[in-house]
Amino acid sequence: MTMGRTVTASIDPVGSATIATDIAIVGGGLAGSLAAAVLARAGHRVALVDKRAVYPDEFRVEKIGGPQLDAFRRLGFIRGLASVACPYDRVLNIREGKVVDVSVGQAYGLPYADLVAMARSQLSDPSSLIVDEVTAISSSDDIQHLELASGRHVTARLVVLATGMAGALGYKLGIRRRLLAAGHSVSFGFTIARSDGAPFDFEALTCYGERTADGVDYLSLFPVRSGMRANLFMFRDPTDPIMRELRRDTEATVLRLLPGLHTYLGDFRVIDRIQNWVMDLSVVEGHLQPGIVLIGDAFQTNCPAAGTGVARLLVDVERLCTEHAPRWLSTPGMSRQKISEFYADRDKLAADQQSLKMARFRQALTSRDDIGWDVRRRLHFLRRSLTHRVDQMRPGWLAQVRSALRA
C-alpha cells in the first residue's frame, strides 16, 4: 500500500465511486484502529479511513502497563501487544540519587507506530482499511457522507471521528476545540545506550525532578527493541532556552537537570533522533451531532506526563464499540439523542475528568513552589519511600493491612 492511493475494502466493489458501510471510522491511529478491529470482529461492516497506509515514526505513547493492560486483554489485543513489544516488570523509582520505591507489574515498551500497526493487523478483513484523506463530512439522522481526497465517497450509518489532534475536519462541522491550557507540558523522546556497550543495571527506571524551578516531572527509561527508550516530561515554558539545549546536547542537559541520575546511567549516549512535543490541553465543543461520534484525542487531549491518554481512549473504544454503537445500529436512525448516550456514559465521563485532574496534579506537584505544595510534594515521596521500606522488611504485610481495613 502506498500513501495517497486508495486501498479499497471488500465492502467496496472494485472501482466504485461510493463505498457503503455501516460504520466509517476516520483516523487509524490507536483509537480508530482498535475501534475498527473490535467492531469488525463483532460482525459489523466497518471502513477505516486514514490518510497514511503506515503510521509514521511520531512521538506518542510508548509504554503500556497497569490497568491499560486489563483493557487490552478485555478487548482481545493482549497477545498482539505482547508479540510486538518489549516486556518489563520492575521499575526502579529514584529521586535525588536515592531509591524512592520499586514498581512491580507487567508493562511493555514499543514505538507508537508499532502499536498502531498491531491494532490495524487485528482487522479481520485488512482490506477494510482505506488509505485516503477525508476532506468533508455531512451528517443526518440516517446516513452520513464522507468525501475523500481521491474524489470517492463513503456512506455510513455512523461516523466515528478518531482524527487525533487534527482539528480541520471537525471545524467544518462546527466542532471547535476549547483550549484549556496552551503549552501545558513539554515531552522529549529519545533512545540511549551505555557508551561502553554494556547493558544498564536496571530493567526500567523513573527519575523524578529535583527542583521545582527546573520543571522536570520525571524521566522514564524503559526497554524497547532498539535499546533503552527515554521519555522526559516537563512543565516549563516551551520557549525556554533549555529546550534547545535538550535537543542539541541531550546527555549533558539531562544530567544537569537530574544530577542524581549519573550513578545509575554511567556514561551514556543518545542513539537516535530527539523527538519533542509541546502539548496543549483541549476539549471539543459543538460535538453533539447526529450520526457522528468523537473518540480518543479527537475528543480531548491529555497530558503525556499524566499518562492518561491511552486509558481514556481505551474507555472510549470499549464503551462505544461494545455497548453503545451495537445498540444504536440495532434500531433505525442515528439521532443526536442516540449519540448523546455515549457522551453521558459514566465511565467515559470519569476517564475524561480523571485525565484533566491528573494533568493538573502532575503540573502542580512538579512546579508549584508555595508552602502547601512543597509540603504535599515532600509527603508524597516520603509516603512512597516509607511504604517501600516497610514492604522490604515485611513483604506483603502492608497489602494485608490494606485489605483488612477495606473489609
Ligand X SMILES: Cc1cc2nc3c(=O)[nH]c(=O)nc-3n(C[C@H](O)[C@H](O)[C@H](O)COP(=O)(O)OP(=O)(O)OC[C@H]3O[C@@H](n4cnc5c(N)ncnc54)[C@H](O)[C@@H]3O)c2cc1C
User: Please, which residues bridge with residue 158 across strands?
Assistant: 23
215 in contact with ligand X (CB under 6 A): no
Residues 282-301 that bind ligand X (CB under 6 A): 296-298
Please tell me the distance from the alpha carbon of residue 123 to that of residue 129, in angstroms, as a whole number: 8
Binding part of the chain for ligand X, among 16-24, 159-167, 196-204, 254-262 by CB under 6 A, reads 159-167
Interface residue with ligand X, options 206, 302, 363, 367 (CB under 6 A): 302
| Min separation Cβ 192 and ligand X, Å | 17
101 in contact with ligand X (CB under 6 A): no
Binding part of the chain for ligand X, among 84-92, 157-165, 281-289, 362-370 by CB under 6 A, reads 157-165
Give the number of other Cβ atoms within 10 Å of residue 282's Cβ.
20
Give the number of other Cβ atoms within 10 Å of residue 9's Cβ.
22
Binding part of the chain for ligand X, among 3-11, 52-60, 75-83, 372-380 by CB under 6 A, reads 52-60
49 in contact with ligand X (CB under 6 A): yes
304 in contact with ligand X (CB under 6 A): yes
162 in contact with ligand X (CB under 6 A): yes
Please tell me the distance from the alpha carbon of residue 181 to that of residue 164, in angstroms, as a whole number: 17
Backbone angles phi, psi at 155, to 5 degrees: -115, 140
Binding part of the chain for ligand X, among 54-62, 86-94, 286-294, 326-334 by CB under 6 A, reads 54-62
Cell, residue 236: 516549563
111 in contact with ligand X (CB under 6 A): no
Residues 175-214 that bind ligand X (CB under 6 A): 187
348 in contact with ligand X (CB under 6 A): no
Please report which helix (H) or strand (E) contains residue 341, including its range: helix 336-343
120 in contact with ligand X (CB under 6 A): no
Closer residue to ligand X in complex, CB, 167/260: 167
310 in contact with ligand X (CB under 6 A): yes
Closer residue to ligand X in complex, CB, 51/95: 51
Query: Furthest-apart CA pair in the chain: how many Å?
Result: 70
Q: Are 75 and 366 in contact (CB under 8 A)?
A: no
59 in contact with ligand X (CB under 6 A): yes
| Min separation Cβ 44 and ligand X, Å | 19
Residues 60-89 that bind ligand X (CB under 6 A): 60-61, 63
The mark string for 240-279 relative to ligand X (x by CB under 6 A, - otherwise) is -------------------------------------x-x
Backbone angles phi, psi at 230, to 5 degrees: -120, 130
361 in contact with ligand X (CB under 6 A): no
Count of positions on this chain that bind ligand X (CB under 6 A): 38
- Label the pairing between strands 23-26 and 153-156: unpaired
Its sign, for the CA torsion 164, 169, 173, 178, is positive
Interface residue with ligand X, options 39, 169, 175, 186 (CB under 6 A): 169
3-state DSSP: the chain helix, strand, coil percent, rounded to 5?
Answer: 40, 30, 30
Closer residue to ligand X in complex, CB, 97/126: 126
For 204-234, b where at least 16 C-beta lie within 10 A, e where not — what string? bbbbbbbebebbbbbbbbbbbeebbbbbbbb
Please report which helix (H) or strand (E) contains residue 363, including its range: helix 346-367
| Angle 42-287-70 from CA coordinates, rounded to 5° | 40
Contacts with ligand X, residue ranges (CB under 6 A):
26-32, 49-52, 55, 59-61, 63, 133-134, 162-166, 169, 187, 277, 279, 296-298, 302, 304, 307-311, 313
